[in-house]
Amino acid sequence: MDQQLQEIGARLKQARLAKNLTQPQLAEAADISVSFLSNLETGRQAMNIKTMASLLDILNVSADWLLGNSTDSANHAAALEIEKELSSCTPKERETILRLVLLMKEAIGSLKPEPGE
């Protein structure tokens, strides 16, 4: 199997799981078969541009990230994990979490850097 297709497939699966979607749910939304999606996720098949555009839109990821061209994949993975956790929160919980994050960011920004940083 092609290494690049396997890497793309792994990122596709990561994005699907971060959205809490099953293969059947994503396949239906993208108008593809479950077996084709499974083959994409395992790197056994490649997708055409139309399928890729559909999956990018549904999963809300960039083509650069999916194709492994993004230098910010660690941040993207963290953002997907945060989104996954927030999806089960109420609007009030999300608002509270956002306020806490902003306060923590402000507090971290006011810290004096250690020598050598």
Domain extents in the chain: 3-110
Q: Can you tell me the distance from the alpha carbon of 40 to that of 11, in angstroms, rounded to the nearest whole number? A: 10
pTM for this model (two decimals) = 0.63
The predicted-structure confidence for 55-105, as pLDDT tens digits, reads as follows 999 998 888 889 888 756 567 667 777 888 888 889 999 899 999 988 998
Distance from first CA to last CA of the chain, Å, rounded?
43
Phi, psi angles (nearest 5°) of residue 80: -65, -40
CATH topology of domain 3-110: 434 Repressor (Amino-terminal Domain) (1.10.260)
Residue type at position 27:
A
Give the mean pLDDT of 5-30: 94
Residue 80, pLDDT score: 74
Q: How buried is 31 (Cβ within 10 angstroms: 0-12 exposed, 13-18 middle, 19+ buried)?
A: exposed
